[in-house]
Amino acid sequence: MRIRLVLALVVALIGTSAIPANAATNPKVVTAAFKNLLSVTGDSLEQLEQKYEADIDALDATLVAATSAADSTLDQELQAATSLYAPQIAAANKKIEDAKAIFSANNKLTIQRSLFSSADKDRVWQYFICPKPKINEAGWTIAKRYCNNDYGYEKFGDQNKVTGMTVGGEDWQPGDQAEVSFENSSKSYILDAIAYGWVIPVNLSLYDTSRLTVKSETNRVNDLTLLNGKARTSAQTKRDNAVALAAKTRDQAVADLDEAFETAKAKLEAQETAANLALLAAKRAAKDPSNFDKAFAVAYKFEYNLKMVGEIADAAWTGDWTFRTIDSIIKVNKLASIGDGIASRYSYSSANSFNKAVGNAFTNEPDFRAALKVLTAIYKKTTNTTLKVV
């Protein structure tokens, strides 16, 4: 930004033409030089703003690109997780379905001893699927007791839940075959009954292998689902972190850009103000062409002091001022009124008196000094005269 400012000044300086030494200063030449500076400064401000907007757009585009890349990576990693785990989960689920079908065809258990007398405390029979009731020789409808569907009866004389008829009930007897659902096949009572020999699966091999296959493949499905979930969560976290980092980088770059922009803009605006004040000063000094250089210096300082005094006088009430401050503000307002009066009826002597009253309160400030360097350099290049403002 400093380079751009220097280039702007160089252009301004090139646009002016030096006059021979010891020649009287031409007010028109000075006015033209500062008009050129004003034009160049205006162009520089416009270019600065355009570059700022372009830089912001570039940062936004970079963030969009980073977000798009992160989203693309997320899609790829999600697809990779799906491709890896979905077939394995599907295969395991297929094994579960096949094993359940095998179990359903081999879920019969042969009763080896009376469960009512030998295993009453364990109540194994509560997990058996009740067979359909049968008719005994006396014409009674007999059904198994304590099984787990509507064909079962809790005790002798219970009412049938389907027909409403009162029937008898019987215990499971040795030699009976009972069916057990897959969900109940792993109950501890059933496992203990098989282990103790109270019941024996008709096809022990298929009964166990199918049941255990369902159990192991179900665990496998759970493990694969968990791994798949972790992979997807990791991919999403990776994406979110990448986008967050890109956003943070963009925000920091914008902050740096804003700071540089505001600094450069402030310098150019100060230069623009200086050029405008110089044009006003040249207009006032033109009334005294024989003493133009000194009149210009006094007029420029007057315009600057009047501007700064006016800004203070126009400041809004903050409610924090002390009586001493208020007294000072009254003096500043009075000084501002005097300056406004001089501006409307300008004269070299009154402007010089105003400058002396204000003193160096403003002309010692860095902003004034920075603008003055530009002002005196252009004036020297234009007139071959060293301007003495302070």
Listed by start position, the domains of the chain span 2-72+240-383, 107-202
Identify the H or E element spanning 95: helix 27-105
Per-chain mean pLDDT for the chain: 83
Instruction: Assign 55 to helix, strand or coil.
Output: helix
Question: Predicted confidence band at 318 (pLDDT cuts at 50, 70, 90)?
Answer: low
Among 128-137, 200-209, 370-379, name the most confident range.
200-209
- pLDDT number for residue 126: 80
Of 3-7, 158-162, 191-195, the range with the lowest mean pLDDT is: 3-7
Phi and psi angles of residue 192, each rounded to the nearest 5 degrees, phi first? -65, -40
User: Which residue pairs from 238-247 have beta carbons closer than 8 angstroms and sit at least 24 positions apart in sequence?
Assistant: 238/70, 238/73, 238/74, 238/77, 239/70, 239/71, 239/73, 239/74, 242/66, 242/69, 242/70, 242/73, 243/66, 243/67, 243/70, 246/62, 246/63, 246/66, 246/67, 246/70, 247/63
Is the model more confident about 287 or about 169? Answer: 287
Decide: residue 181, CB within 10 A, 0-12 exposed, 13-18 middle, 19+ buried: middle
Burial of 331 (0-12, 13-18, 19+ CB in 10 A): exposed
DSSP conformation letters of 253-307:
HHHHHHHHHHHHHHHHHHHHHHHHHHHHHHHHHTTSGGGHHHHHHHHHHHHHHHH
Beta strand pairing call for 108-111 and 141-144: unpaired
Q: Which residue has the higher pLDDT, 150 or 315?
A: 315
Binned at pLDDT 50, 70 and 90, residue 345 comes out as very high
pLDDT digits (tens, 9 = 90+) for 253-297: 999 999 999 999 988 998 898 899 999 999 999 988 889 999 999
More confident residue, 374 or 66: 66
Confidence band of 325 (pLDDT split at 50, 70, 90):
low
310 pLDDT above the threshold of 50:
yes
Q: What is the pLDDT of residue 324?
A: 56
Q: What is the mean pLDDT of residues 242-250?
A: 97
Q: The tokens of 10 are what? A: 């160089």
Confidence (pLDDT) at 124? 80
Q: In terms of pLDDT, which residue wins out, 11 or 374?
A: 374
Q: How far apart are alpha carbons 114 and 173 in whole angstroms?
A: 5
Question: Is it the case that residue 139 has pLDDT exceeding 80?
Answer: no
Residue 320 has a pLDDT of 60
In this structure, what are the phi and psi dihedrals at residue 25, rounded to the nearest 5 degrees? -70, 130
Residue 210 pLDDT > 80, yes or no? yes
Coil, strand or helix: which one is 123?
A: coil
Least confident of 12-21, 221-230, 322-331: 12-21
Checking if the pLDDT of 15 tops 70, the result is no
- Return the percentage of the chain with pLDDT > 70, whole number: 80
What type of residue is 73? T
| H-helix or E-strand spanning residue 240 | helix 204-285
Average pLDDT estimate for 63-80: 97
pLDDT for res 163: 53
- Per-residue pLDDT for 77 more than 70? yes
| Rounded Cα–Cα distance for residues 91 and 97 (Å) | 10
pLDDT of residue 16 exceeding 50: no
For residue 92, count CB atoms less than 10 angstroms from its CB and return exposed for 0-12, middle for 13-18, buried for 19 or more: buried
Longest dimension (CA), the chain: 149
160 by DSSP, 3-state: which?
A: coil
Residue showing tokens 């963030």: 63
Pair 389, 301: CB distance under 8 Å: yes
What is the structure's pLDDT at 323? Answer: 47
Least confident of 65-79, 156-170, 298-312: 156-170
- Work out the pLDDT band at 13, boundaries 50, 70, 90: very low
pLDDT of residue 358: 86
